[in-house]
Structure 1
Amino acid sequence: MLTAVFSLTGALVFGAADFLGGLAAKRISALLATAVAALAGVVLLFLALPLLGGEWSVHDVLWGAISGVVGCIGIALLYACLAIGPMSILSPTTAVVSAIVPVLYGLVFAGERFDPTGYWGLGLALVAVVLVGFVPERGAVRPSLRGIVMAVGSGAAIGGFYIAIDQTSDESGIVPLILNRGVNAALMFMAVAVVAILAALRARRARDVVGVDAGSVIQSLAANPAGESADGRSGGGVEAGADGLEGERMPRADRSATATGIRLAVACGLVDATANALLLFGIRAGDLSIAAVLGAMYPAGTILLAALVLRERIAPVQWAGLVLALTAAAMLALA
């Protein structure tokens, strides 16, 4: 019962975090939004540690760090496959694989067993994951092999996150989550730094090219002070060079939008950390299989918030998925 309640609630909260993260990514880069969110989550978990408790051990610290690395791989592959598209196929593919991997682990290696109601509930939940995660697209094309491989890899990595967290002891409390968010933040900020360095190098090369062009203009003027062209007409060499240099200047970012993006990313991190804690409680309260398959319902929270806040339309197939998700949760709670 507690596993179903914690896991489904955690999935809805996860969806809210994704919604906030999406709003943040519209104002700042998705990479920076993810990094800021992870850092905010670490801070919240550290503040909650005295209240929720947790013992530090090498075993739990190691598995917490592993879950952070595996989780980063899963998210990176998810963004990559969604960029390739079509989202309507690859998004639910990732979600269902992320549920199947822990279910297979729980049934095959952890010795989890259910009554017939539980197995039917698991099957129904997997169908619900596909329907809830379905993103209707007009003119969607058949996915490429590369996109499918990335989607499966992303789902497997996210499923690996569930398995890694399941290896931690009950006595560790939220310590593994602190390591998870800490590793995630470190990797994301490293990625932001790499991108910034590459951008700076590209900008420097562009300035060097502009400098060479400006040097050519100066040499031409020195040879032909009047700025005359070969046919004797007066040319605007200095003005043209100045216009070219002016065109290379990048427009200033909107500080207000950036500040809003940072605040949204912080809110995303706080909500995401809460969702992770709920999921952890769900795993420890019962079976990994139930927690993972209900946790994969996270798109439900996103589409519900999008409908309430942004007035986006929920597709009939997604409504069907939401109904099946609630039905499956009730069956698994009774299993």
Structure 2
Amino acid sequence: MAVVLATLSAIAFGVGDFLGGLSARRMAAVATALGTQVVGLVLILALSPVIGGTVTATDLGWGMAAGVVGSSALMVFYWALGAGQMSVVAPISAVTSALVPLCFGLLDGERPGAVAMTGALLALPAIVLISREPSDPVGADERDDPPHRAPSSRVVAASAVAGAGFGAFFVLISRSGEDSGLWPLASARSVAVVVVGAAVLLTGVRRVERTGVQLAIGAGSFDVAANALFLLASRQGLLTLVGVIGSMYPASTIVLARVVLRERIARHQMTGLALAAASLVAVTIG
């Protein structure tokens, strides 16, 4: 069941990223980030009393720590996207976000079976291939675009830091008690709203469009679902495996881009999707 929940979490994360990306095309990225965080907080606060749970100060503390780390990572991620190429930022951040819970779980004493561990490791190249953008079509006129430059060390470092922050969010939120319901997420999202809100004030965002807000609402809704599903998955399965599966979120983003925006799926991305499917099968039967 944990594998199913983690897979659904990855799908929801991917859909949320897709909608958030469309929103960020219509208004400032930090405004989109704030919109998703606020919507998420409202939904979590509405659902938490219904779902119930016995929450402790420790659970809320883990949630607050996750909120600080996760929202800070989001800001770094957006900076990296603005300063570098998506084809560089996405694979580095996605793989790093998978490695953090994988390594933490192993250090914490988790020992998946050989087949499951093979599937988890297989997910890493799958994430790289899926996240990597298609290269320019053969025969394209090089005068149409400036020559590609090697990514700066700052962009590479920022991408790795952002991914590590996302992975640390997974680890921190998974430390909350199994009976705490969604309250740790409410705590995390409350802190995130403050952090991202401060960033919006500092940047002086002025451009906000209705369509962008609507897309941000959708993104925030899917993000809440993704976080809740991941929290449930981490309580039922090994973080070593659940964290890696949850980091496969670029797959659903790529598929949606193909179906909705008619964007081309490159061969290496198809290979990555196949590897991701094989990884899920291995983790499930392992």
Q: Tell me, what secondary structure is at the counterpart of 2:204?
A: helix
The C-alpha deviation readout for 1:179-237, integer Å capped at 9, x for no partner, is 1111111211222122229x8xxxxxxxxxxxxxxxxxxxxxxxxxxxxxxxxxxxxxx
Tell me the matched-pair count: 276
Q: Does 1:161 align with 2:169?
A: yes
**Residues 307 and 313, structure 1, Cα contact 8 Å, conserved in 2:** yes
Q: Does 1:302 align with 2:259?
A: no
**Residue aligning to 1:21:** 20
Q: Tell me, what secondary structure is at the counterpart of 2:26?
A: coil
Code of the aligned partner of 1:113: R
> Quick one: distance in 1 between partners of 2:199 and 2:78?
14
> Quick one: distance in 1 between partners of 2:232 and 2:78?
27
**Residue aligning to 1:49:** 48
**Residue aligning to 1:238:** none
**Residue aligning to 2:96:** 97
**Residue aligning to 1:152:** 160
Structure 1 residue 296: deviation in Å? 0.8
**Residue aligning to 1:262:** 213
**Residues 86 and 141, structure 1, Cα contact 8 Å, conserved in 2:** no
Structure 1 residue 137: deviation in Å? 4.1
User: Which of 179, 183, 199 is 1:171 aligned to?
Assistant: 179
Code of the aligned partner of 1:298: Y
**Residues 86 and 142, structure 1, Cα contact 8 Å, conserved in 2:** no
Q: Tell me, what secondary structure is at the counterpart of 1:154?
A: helix
> Quick one: distance in 1 between partners of 2:27 and 2:48?
30
**Residues 3 and 290, structure 1, Cα contact 8 Å, conserved in 2:** no
* Structure 1: gaps of 5 or more residues: 200-252
The C-alpha deviation readout for 1:58-95, integer Å capped at 9, x for no partner, is 10111101101100121112112222223212210111
> Quick one: distance in 1 between partners of 2:106 and 2:10?
22
**Residue aligning to 2:279:** 328
**Residues 3 and 333, structure 1, Cα contact 8 Å, conserved in 2:** no
**Residue aligning to 1:241:** none
> Quick one: distance in 2 between partners of 1:195 and 1:115?
48
User: Which of 108, 119, 128 is 1:130 aligned to?
Assistant: 128
Q: Tell me, what secondary structure is at the counterpart of 1:171?
A: coil
**Residues 91 and 133, structure 1, Cα contact 8 Å, conserved in 2:** yes
> Quick one: distance in 2 between partners of 1:52 and 1:334?
31
**Residue aligning to 2:150:** 142
Structure 1 residue 97: deviation in Å? 0.8
**What are the within-5 Å matches in structure 2 for residues 29-108 of structure 1?**
29-108=28-107
**Residues 88 and 140, structure 1, Cα contact 8 Å, conserved in 2:** no
TM-score under structure 1 length normalisation: 0.79
**Residues 67 and 187, structure 2, Cα contact 8 Å, conserved in 1:** yes
* Structure 2: gaps of 5 or more residues: 137-146
> Quick one: distance in 2 between partners of 1:299 and 1:55?
34
> Quick one: distance in 2 between partners of 1:165 and 1:97?
17
Runs of 4+ in 1 over 6 A off after TM superposition: none
> Quick one: distance in 1 between partners of 2:106 and 2:84?
32
Code of the aligned partner of 1:259: R
Structure 1 residue 15: deviation in Å? 0.7
Structure 1 residue 295: deviation in Å? 0.8
**Residues 77 and 158, structure 2, Cα contact 8 Å, conserved in 1:** yes
**Residues 12 and 225, structure 2, Cα contact 8 Å, conserved in 1:** yes
**Residue aligning to 2:117:** 119
- Note the aligned Cα RMSD (angstroms): 1.6
**Residue aligning to 1:188:** 196
> Quick one: distance in 2 between partners of 1:68 and 1:276?
12
TM-score under structure 2 length normalisation: 0.92
Structure 1 residue 38: deviation in Å? 0.7
Structure 1 residue 328: deviation in Å? 0.5
